[in-house]
Structure 1
């Protein structure tokens, strides 16, 4: 059952504190709560509760607000609940009407919040939120003359696109380590299935688990085992797993029921069967890759993403395709399988057109995006793609073209900085969620939180701008020049007055 929150549009002055005080309207959590469109997407969240029976669910603002707080502060689920309990501004942010020293909800509910809030819903919320932010921080520009207006291009703005990978929290997968883990799981399943048949079957199936572990450690402890030794160890582990899977089938035929396994154990059994099939095929054909290769037993949806980066040629996680303009970043596509990001350029440009009402003046992208079809498509719409033209480079390049190429590359670095911010500051370098749907929610929330941080930094700079124009600081005055399409530039000049 879901009931609409009564305090969805609560103002900070109405929040009741035990000391009869009031919340500060200039606090960052109060300001961020004002730009998030809580009520616009509450009905879509309420569709998760079609029946009116049962206890009332937590409100949409509480669910989303708790996820935003967790990613903004970079803390665990338990610490998130404790921080909310101790901080009245966080309680206001999640929609409470008064301060309470009790836990707002159990930390385990954050898992259900991530399951109920889909990445698509967060992306729509992110777009609507950025619209409100652009209205607040909009800077009016002087009107151009009529002669300039006639020659003005209908395209405006700069769109930056790129792709990256969000690594998951798994150990580095090796064939031998993966098979050893699969063998251990099959032994546990045999123990569970044999327990109700104890006494009916004369002898428990023999698994040779101690010998199998010794065979694994003999190679795993070696710093650089030879290829033949590694293949021999893989062959032994495959034989152990094959014997264990045969024992599981015998136990089922002998009266054991798969109902003795819980949902997670049954899913693990299916994963183990597929892992054995893939590894046996790789061993028999002496190959290094196979389609839909499983690299983690606990997270079988993760695939290896070949990136070709220095130091990390392969990453294991979700591949993301993102776009950035005016300092705000959007998640356009997320997939657990590898894909060619050049095919997303047209969709990203059209999304920019739907959001702003006009096509971008230029698209700044990596070399992989500069295909012939993408160039021709952009040329029809008057869009310039950054980078040199196709074909052999000319012998003599003018200074203007060199400056333009360097300028385009500097602009493209903005999205690389956004990826660095997401991975170093907001934990996108290791996604801790274990399920595929909850991992997608965490990734989408990260982009939303980055836009909130960008907007708050701009609002804070606007305040410093007004303060710096009037107050000299130790003989220096801060002068800010605003250009929302690029980074904010600031200069210090000496105040001789």
Structure 2
């Protein structure tokens, strides 16, 4: 990474944001500052931890342009305060956009030169399609239904407590019992799973009806009291129940836009055919590589045909 980044362009963009051209004792080298920030945020370290990490690691010292290993701190951690005043999030993003524009212009120039001179020195890598893993566990239908029962029970209790209402009787304990009865089996037969799903579907729809009746009785302010994420989860639970009920009646395991997590309802599954993990979850991207830089041509959370 230290050899790939265009440090000359980074230096020019960084120095353009400083106001010490006519006064002051000068500034630290651009590669030292930007490199230290990249290490800090890439590894999620505190100011002091970043300085110690660079002090102990020769690879990090090479990255910030040290010519040889040094056992002294690169600078005092308090300097990060000044750096953050100079370089805010917007400045850092602007630098990233500027670097991309520079590389695009170089690509256009090199492409034109290649057409005229047939110069092969500028490499355009092959495009590729892939699924970026969203790090979600593989949930079965019965896990989803159990999560739905648990969430709705939690939101009912939370709403009753917030508005000083009498606690409602829910079916979560029964749903939990039916869920554990299935997952504790050493060999889960199709009949046992179907029986468990049947019970969980019934318990979930009953609790959903109770939650909706609570809103109808006491007004929409009860639903509005939930934050944006909680309202999104409730909507996902309702849609998930509809999908699971439809698949249960049709005795199938797939449906359009199937929800695989009520907490990240936008994620879809993709069957990639890999031996280790035949199914992956995440955003689908179609990307191309230009001179070592990867550009996202298209991305979607829904299943799409990817360029291989």
CA pair 280-175 structure 1, distance change in 2 beyond 3 A: same
Q: Could you say which residue in structure 1 is the equivalent of 2:148?
A: 182
Q: Which residue pairs with 1:235 in the alignment?
A: 198
Please, what is the CA RMSD of the aligned residues? 4.4
CA contact (8 A) 2:171 2:206 kept: no
Q: Is the 8 A contact 1:69 1:80 kept in 2?
A: no
Secondary structure, in 3 states, of the residue corresponding to 2:129? strand
Match of 2:216 among 253, 266, 269: 253
SS in 1 for 2:214: helix
Provide the secondary structure at the position in 2 that maps to 1:36: helix
Give the TM-score taking structure 1 as reference length.
Answer: 0.44
SS of residue matched to 2:218: coil
Asked if structure 2 preserves the Cα contact closer than 8 Å seen for 1:37 and 1:125, the reply is: no
SS at match of 1:276: helix
Partner of 2:182: 219
1:278 aligns with 2:246: no
Which residue number in structure 2 is paired with residue 458 of structure 1?
none
Mapped to 2, the partners of 1:276 and 1:283 lie a distance apart of: 10
Note if 1:69 corresponds to 2:69.
no
Contact 1:85–1:104 (Cα < 8 Å) also in 2? no
Q: Which residue of 2 aligns with 1:36?
A: 10
* 1:34-433 paired onto structure 2 within 5 Å: 34-36=8-10, 39=13, 68-69=38-39, 75=43, 77=44, 79=45, 81-84=47-50, 86=52, 99-102=75-78, 104=80, 125-126=99-100, 128-129=102-103, 159-198=125-164, 201=166, 204-255=167-218, 257-342=222-307, 366=308
Measured at CA, do residues 83 and 127 of structure 1 come closer, stay the same or move farther in structure 2, by a change above 3 Å? farther
**Partners of 2:40 and 2:50 within 8 A in 1:** no
Q: Please give the per-residue CA displacement for 1:381-429, whole angstroms capped at 9, x wherever unaligned.
A: xxxxxxxxxxxxxxxxxxxxxxxxxxxxxxxxxxxxxxxxxxxxxxxxx
CA separation of 1:223 and 1:164: change in aligned 2, threshold 3 A: farther
Q: 2: distance between equivalents of 1:71 and 1:237?
A: 44
Query: Could you give the per-residue CA deviations for residues 308-352 of structure 1, whole angstroms, max 9, x where no partner exists?
Result: 22232210011222223554443332221221124xxxxxxxxxx
Paired residues in the alignment total 263
| Contact map agreement 1:66 1:80 (CA 8 A) in 2 | no
8 Å CA contact 1:321, 1:332 repeated in 2: yes
SS, match of residue 206 in structure 1: coil
Residues 334 and 187 of structure 1: CA distance in aligned 2, closer, same or farther (over 3 Å): same
Structure 2: gaps (5+ residues): 18-30, 65-73, 82-87
8 Å Cα contact 1:35-1:132 kept in structure 2: no
Give 1:168 shift. Answer: 0.9
The alpha carbon displacement at 1:182 in A equals 1.1
Tell me, in whole angstroms, the C-alpha distance in 1 between the residues paired with 2:253 and 2:98: 40
Q: Give, in whole Å, the separation in 2 of the partners of 1:218 and 1:68.
A: 49
Distance 2:287 2:298 in 1: 7
The equivalences for 1:14-25 within 5 A come to none
Distance 2:185 2:256 in 1: 30
Query: Cα gap change, 1:229/1:322 in structure 2, threshold over 3 Å: closer, same or farther?
Result: same
Contact 2:145 2:197 in 1 (8 A): yes
